[in-house]
Amino acid sequence: MAHLDVPTYADMPAPTPDELRLAYEVGTRSRSVEEHIVRLVSRGEVKFAIWGPGEEVHGTASALALAKMVPVEKFGVVPHYRSGAMLSMWARLHGYDTFTLDLLRQQFSKDTDKMSRGRQMVYHVDMRELGILPVQSPVGMQLGKAAGYAMGFKIKGVTGALTMGIVGDGTTAEGDMHDTMTAASVWQLPMIILVTDNRVAISTTPEEGRGIQDFRDYAGSFGIASVDCDGRDFWDTYQAMYRAARYIVETGKPVLVHAHDLPRFNGHSSAADVTYDLSQSDPLIALGERLVADGVIEERDALRRVKGEGRDFFAHHDLGNVMGRQDEEVRAILEQVRAEPDPPAASVMENIRKPFPDIAEPPQSGATNITYAGAIRAAINNILRDNSAALWGQDVGRLGGVMTATAGLKKRFPTRIIDAPLNEPLIVGTGCGAGLHDDFISLPEIQFGDYSLNALDRKSTRLNSSHLVISYAVFCLK
């Protein structure tokens, strides 16, 4: 099997002491937030929660590496629900200081939740101004959206752009993984497919649920470059993510990143045993010890494990000065959010979808004779003529569509009528992702109505942020 390894870069910048201190602050703050959420669950104060204690070091290192290579306006990420530290670090690096407040408003389903107004559970993040794209519960579907967003960048001619989709190792068993690897390979998309591997999918082990035996071999079979890293090690993660990001920015080609050996300290979610697992070593403690040894922070600043009793993280740890300060701020934000209003009952039917555009059709006189296919073809022509838009689907280009819906359009729009792989979830999923660009209209086309059945989940769960117009199995996403 031919492996395509990501190059190393001798001029890769090392993290500065200030950046390392920021990463440690953000990582300990993220741990504090999520362990307080575990407490809320234990007390019955919230009904459901999901979290990622153990991924703070990997997350902050990844965000720092990405920020070295790609500006926010050329970046898009469809994150995992365990990506809290990564998103918080990315936000801080771009001057956004209210990530914790936003997250806890969503956790408490408050009317002040600007992402979903109390309608989504925690970590269904949506912060477009930071390039953080909408998260949804079926994790595998994040990948198709990320591939589509990368496709949007490519079609618009944006150079130096990068999109990232994140899944856990269990999700690599989903067809979404194959769909996205196919799209990334065939279309050479500027994206990272990031697999965060903690060797468990809720309760399913790799032996029970993972068919991919070697991620380098898997990536190589698609002609996609790959790199792996120890997700517990800040510097190993930083260099791997920097190499991946730089390779994509410089070549426009995809990379699969496998971050392995990540711990999971509190179970998958509140639906599992939330007892803090003391049997695993803590990357956040190891990072603090390294920063003390390197003179970046003082010994009294560092988090350390102590003897304690009970199920709770806080009972078994001395927070140190850095996490202590973060914890005080988190507690204050918790009290603020508790006091904020819940969504009023009368608002239940609001914010379901974007309003349809107010467009007045010009008056017409006389009769017009046109076939359905001709009308669809004319509409597609006008959309492509008047907008930043593209259409992709099976046999739409060279053949012109099996029912002639795109006949002749490939000649008029050679780079925006695209023959796609024979994969309906890929076609609709990437269309949904591309349609998340404010200045782009995606037109995924399905050949026959029957062929759309295996993409119904994409249409029902991904289109919360897009208008959907169905005409002869052409989906106009904007």
pLDDT in tens, 71-90: 999 999 999 999 999 999 99
Alpha-carbon distance values, 100 to 336, 347, 420 (Å): 12, 25, 41
Coil, strand, or helix at residue 68? Answer: helix
According to DSSP, the residues that pair with 227 across neighbouring strands are 257
Smallest CA-to-CA distance from 432 within 175, 180, 117, 252 is with 180
H-only helix segments in 396-455: 409-412, 424-434
* Phi then psi dihedrals of residue 357, to 5 deg: -65, 145
Smallest CA-to-CA distance from 145 within 365, 459, 410 is with 459
Q: Taking residues 173-179, report their average pLDDT.
A: 96
Report the predicted TM-score, pTM, of the whole model to 2 decimal places.
0.94
DSSP state letters, 122-188: TT---BGGGTBPPP-SSTTHHHHHHHHHHHHHHHHT-TT-EEEEEEEGGGGGSHHHHHHHHHHHHHT
Q: What is the pLDDT of residue 40?
A: 92
Smallest CA-to-CA distance from 278 within 327, 230, 316 is with 316
**How far, in Å, CA of 82 to CA of 171, rounded?**
13
> Which of 41-45, 215-219, 380-384 has the weakest average pLDDT?
41-45
Residue 323 has pLDDT above 50, yes or no: yes
Residue 60 has pLDDT above 60, yes or no: yes
**Across the chain, what does the average pLDDT equal?**
92
Q: Indicate the pLDDT class of residue 460, thresholds 50, 70 and 90.
A: low
For 211, other C-beta atoms within 10 Å of its C-beta total 9
Q: What is the pLDDT of residue 350?
A: 86
Q: What is the pLDDT of residue 472?
A: 38
**How far, in Å, CA of 313 to CA of 306, rounded?**
10
Q: What is the pLDDT of residue 467?
A: 35
Smallest CA-to-CA distance from 166 within 83, 232, 246 is with 83
Q: Residues 6 or more apart from 208 whose CB is under 8 A from it? A: none
**How far, in Å, CA of 427 to CA of 104, rounded?**
35
Amino acid at 46: V
Q: Residues 6 or more apart from 374 whose CB is under 8 A from it? A: none
Q: Which two tokens stand for residue 450?
A: 């029957």
Beta strand 417-419 with 225-230 is unpaired
Please report the sign of the dihedral spanned by the C-alpha atoms of residue 125, residue 132, residue 57, residue 166.
positive
**Under 8 Å between Cβ of 147 and 183:** yes
Q: Which two tokens stand for residue 367?
A: 């009769």
> Which of 20-24, 31-35, 90-94, 273-277 has the weakest average pLDDT?
273-277
For 45, other C-beta atoms within 10 Å of its C-beta total 14
Q: Which two tokens stand for residue 122?
A: 């925690």
Q: What is the pLDDT of residue 469?
A: 37
Amino acid at 430: T
Q: Residues 6 or more apart from 74 whose CB is under 8 A from it? A: 153, 158, 160, 161, 162
Residue 464 has pLDDT above 60, yes or no: no
Smallest CA-to-CA distance from 31 within 80, 84, 78 is with 84
The residue whose two tokens read 């239940």 is 348
The residue whose two tokens read 């040894």 is 293
Q: Which two tokens stand for residue 337?
A: 């959010």
The residue whose two tokens read 């898997």 is 218
Q: Taking residues 244-273, report their average pLDDT.
A: 95
> Which of 85-94, 100-109, 300-309, 355-364 has the weakest average pLDDT?
355-364
Residues in the chain: 478
**How far, in Å, CA of 329 to CA of 336, rounded?**
11
Residue 98 has pLDDT above 70, yes or no: yes
Amino acid at 381: N
Q: What is the pLDDT of residue 470?
A: 36
Q: What is the pLDDT of residue 465?
A: 45
Query: Residue 260: enclosing H or E segment and its boundaries?
Result: strand 255-260
For 373, other C-beta atoms within 10 Å of its C-beta total 16
